[in-house]
Structure 1
Amino acid sequence: MTVDTAPPPTAVPASAPVVRRRGLRPGRIGVHVFLMGVSIAFLAPLLLAVYASLRPYDETSKYGYFSLPRHLSFQYYKEAFSDSGMTKYFVNTLIIAVPGVIITLFLAAFVAFAVSRLKMRGGIVLLMLFTAGNLLPQQVIVTPLYVVFNRIPLPYWMSDSMTMFDSYWAVILVQVGFQLGFCVFVLANFMRTLPQEILEAAIVDGAGVWTQFWRITLPLCRPAIAALCTLEFTWMYNDFLWALVFMSDGDKLPITSALNNLRGEFFTDYNLLAAGSVIVALPTLVVFLLLQRHFIAGLTLGSSK
């Protein structure tokens, strides 16, 4: 005769950690409510612009922008893209933003490496000077730069005006000059978090300064460079002041100026303008989505050190 015996219960060690579920505390709920409120406040203008761009102007003028839609279409997007000539302005913006970002990050990486990784005299002072350059209001030097650029000669193939004025080089140079300090500050602080033993091992193996910079330090700084690339492209892409001051030829203006072409002399269709604004914002959104993983890693890496 067989007797079925149940297996003895497994004894739980006294030292086993007890997992307790954390309840929702009032402070935690308040933080989430605050973050949701801030997110809605930031997204509200964008959502309203998208909502308005899908509705006819006659409908919003009669019922208001916060009324329920009667008719939705993408007609305004087609009109905004064709009426403003955005293709030409997109190309102008890329001519300014892409070289500006590349030159800025390339020079900033050199300076940051010299300040943070090489034992050079006055490195901290040099870093402070680059950082202090961000404190200067850009509008203060508009007039001096305007005078200087009109006196700097350029060959005809670089500028139709034979000077730095009314050329892409003027805007690129100003963008690089003003963004360089911020990039140096970020990259220098990021490079300080890298283990010094890596460079010491490379020096023992006979690596020179260029090898230490190009083949060892720069690959480790990829998250920080990607984060700066996203920020710098967004700032240079959205800039309107410098192109407006240093360019007299309307065909060279960047994409932000294309929105002015959607404004009439006596009447402005704000729904059409909203559609144009959404189209202009799309490239920066695409760049962020492509570099999102590196962007977040660049912002959080080293935060616990």
Structure 2
Amino acid sequence: MTVEAAPARPAARPAPPVPAAARRRNRAGRIGVHAFLMAVSLAFLAPLLLAVYASLRPYDETSEHGYFSLPRHLSLDYYRQAFTDSGMTKYFVNTLIIAIPGVLVTLFLASFVAFAVARLRMRGGLVLLMLFTAGNLLPQQVIVTPLYVVFNRIPLPYWMSDSMTMFDSYWAVVAVQIGFQLGFCVFVLANFMRTLPQEILEAAIVDGAGVWTQYWRITLPLCRPALAALGTLQFTWMYNDFLWALVFISDGDKLPITSALNNLRGQFFTDYNLLAAGSVIVALPTLVVFLLLQRHFIAGLTLGSGKG
């Protein structure tokens, strides 16, 4: 009995060479795209770079020669003056008291709701997701007056609020931040959780995992990039917010960092170079948060980009 040898597989044909004209067009296209991206980046960075440049120069020099002139003298004196004159340490602490609990509670509640909507296949989940998303369409300024009245009527113990109500307390600002940011986070996390393999939860259920285990130990670790991206955005938004603190806090010692810039404005004269230095100091924490979470933030933004 003879065994016939399998026919040899024909060798793969080499890819035809790319014409020189096509290579030149591709190279010109890449150069054009990079030039466009650099121009857009510079347009967004220009105000920040101008603020940094102005903060290093004396006001007398810029008033005489203009902000776009070459510097005669550069120093960090304005940064020291801005930090001490505005009392930024106190305002930084106030902002962290509002932003950190706001971000953590928002992400926890949003991830829990998104898990119930996207992974448990609960009845009416799509309608619930639409309601959370629709909440973002309501202009925040519309309910300023109703919330002001409500917070003045909600009692709190003295150890939670000096005013014995939610008004003039951090609780009011944190509650509003959570309420308005929850819908966006639920929408993002629910759509991300739908991309996770369902077989992972099915295997966990077979092993006897309960709902909490499925959420906390299985689904949540897989959502780390999305949570990091949302956490960065939420911290930036809550950190930079000034409206709600201005409306619901009357005690100046409780105001967030954005209000510290008002302390650098004089009644009859404003040193805009000093104000620029204060603005740069205020912006530094958000930059630090982004640098710390940069890898997870970029991964969260590009999730699903390679799927067909």
TM-score band, normalised by shorter chain: over 0.9
1:76 partnered with 2:78: yes
Moved more, 173-182 or 28-37: 28-37
The equivalent residue for 2:24 is 23
The equivalent residue for 2:195 is 193
* Cα distance in 1, alignment partners of residues 155 and 141 from structure 2: 24
The equivalent residue for 1:122 is 124
The equivalent residue for 2:233 is 231
Given the superposition, is the C-alpha separation of residues 197 and 73 from structure 1 closer, same or farther in structure 2, using an over 3 Å criterion? same
Q: CA deviation at 1:24?
A: 4.5
Given the superposition, is the C-alpha separation of residues 267 and 133 from structure 1 closer, same or farther in structure 2, using an over 3 Å criterion? same
The equivalent residue for 1:288 is 290
The equivalent residue for 1:217 is 219
What's the % identity of the aligned pairs? 87
* Cα distance in 2, alignment partners of residues 17 and 222 from structure 1: 41
Partner-residue secondary structure (3-state), 2:72: coil
* Cα distance in 2, alignment partners of residues 206 and 16 from structure 1: 54
Partner-residue secondary structure (3-state), 2:269: coil
The equivalent residue for 2:104 is 102
Superposed CA deviations along residues 120-168 of structure 1, whole A, max 9, x for unmatched, are: 1100000000000000000000000000000000000000000000000
Given the superposition, is the C-alpha separation of residues 126 and 28 from structure 1 closer, same or farther in structure 2, using an over 3 Å criterion? same
Q: CA deviation at 1:15?
A: 2.7
* Cα distance in 1, alignment partners of residues 47 and 305 from structure 2: 32
Partner-residue secondary structure (3-state), 2:24: coil
1:90 partnered with 2:92: yes
* Cα distance in 1, alignment partners of residues 266 and 125 from structure 2: 54
* Cα distance in 2, alignment partners of residues 234 and 19 from structure 1: 49
Partner-residue secondary structure (3-state), 1:23: helix
Q: CA deviation at 1:250?
A: 0.1
Superposed CA deviations along residues 204-235 of structure 1, whole A, max 9, x for unmatched, are: 11111111000000000000000000000000
Given the superposition, is the C-alpha separation of residues 144 and 51 from structure 1 closer, same or farther in structure 2, using an over 3 Å criterion? same
Superposed CA deviations along residues 242-263 of structure 1, whole A, max 9, x for unmatched, are: 0000000000000000000000
Matched length: 293
Structure 2: which 5+ runs fail to align?
Answer: 1-10
Amino acid of the residue matched to residue 31 of structure 1? V
Partner-residue secondary structure (3-state), 1:296: helix
Q: Which runs of 4 or more aligned residues in structure 1 lie more than 6 Å from their structure 2 counterparts after TM superposition?
A: none
Amino acid of the residue matched to residue 276 of structure 2? A
Given the superposition, is the C-alpha separation of residues 46 and 238 from structure 1 closer, same or farther in structure 2, using an over 3 Å criterion? same
Q: CA RMSD in A?
A: 1.3
TM-score by length of 2: 0.93
Amino acid of the residue matched to residue 188 of structure 2? V
* Cα distance in 1, alignment partners of residues 130 and 196 from structure 2: 21
* Cα distance in 1, alignment partners of residues 71 and 286 from structure 2: 28
* Cα distance in 1, alignment partners of residues 209 and 12 from structure 2: 55
Moved more, 42-51 or 13-22: 13-22
| Residues 1-305 of structure 1 mapped to structure 2, 5 A cutoff | 15-17=13-15, 20=18, 22-25=23-26, 26-305=28-307
* Cα distance in 1, alignment partners of residues 162 and 39 from structure 2: 51
Amino acid of the residue matched to residue 243 of structure 1? A
Amino acid of the residue matched to residue 13 of structure 2? S
* Cα distance in 1, alignment partners of residues 225 and 249 from structure 2: 35
TM-score by length of 1: 0.94
Amino acid of the residue matched to residue 24 of structure 2? G
The equivalent residue for 1:6 is none
Amino acid of the residue matched to residue 253 of structure 1? L
Q: CA deviation at 1:14?
A: 6.1
